[in-house]
Amino acid sequence: METDLVGRCGIYCGACGVYRACVDGGEYREHVIREWAIPGEKLRCRGCQALTPDCWGSGCETVRCLDSKGYRFCHECAAFMGRSCRRYEEVAAKYLGRGQDIRAALDRIRAGDADVWLREQRERWRCPSCGRRISWFPGRCFGCGEAVNIKITPRE
């Protein structure tokens, strides 16, 4: 389900390396298993909104924090709104370096714009040469081999 790809912290799960490895398989799956040292049997993900205990992301600190507070998204937390959650700010900086402004994404999700945002993300994270969906991580498309340059956008 496409809405499962709305990350609880504001990431687009459809471009996550683990999600792409699970969905795409093949060479990219083997690359992720090797590079991230993930046992193949533990490489499972269907997106943050569809986490199960056997999914790779079920141990995510952000997910555990949200679950402990009874929140679905980080934007529901006062610490997010006040920019006082050090963990979130670290995660936001990391993903900005991967081409995603997750704070801006959560602003859009909170405003009810998740469907449009998902559509934009689905198109954004594609190889410009062959059109295959890509991850933030490879640096190249595992479909056609072309280099992929991630463009950081200030607002999503």
Q: What is the pLDDT of residues 66-121, one digit of tens each?
A: 999 999 999 999 999 899 999 999 999 988 887 789 999 999 999 999 999 999 99
84 falls within a domain? yes
Q: How far is CA 47 from CA 6, 27, 156, in A?
A: 7, 21, 19
143 falls within a domain? no
Give the burial string for 127-151 (b: 16+ CB within 10 Å, else e).
beeeebbbbbbbeebbbeeeebebe
Size (the chain), residues: 156
6 falls within a domain? yes
Determine the average pLDDT of the residues in 120-138: 88
50 falls within a domain? yes
138 falls within a domain? no
Q: pLDDT band for position 1 (50/70/90)?
A: low
How far apart are the C-alpha atoms of 81 and 88, rounded to whole Å?
A: 11
How far apart are the C-alpha atoms of 89 and 9, rounded to whole Å?
A: 11
> Which one, of 32, 67, 22, lies nearest residue 49 by Cα?
67
Domain that holds residue 29: 2-124
Q: pLDDT band for position 151 (50/70/90)?
A: low
Q: Which residue has the tokens 């340059």?
A: 149
10 falls within a domain? yes
Q: What is the pTM of this model?
A: 0.86
The tally of domains found in the chain comes to 1
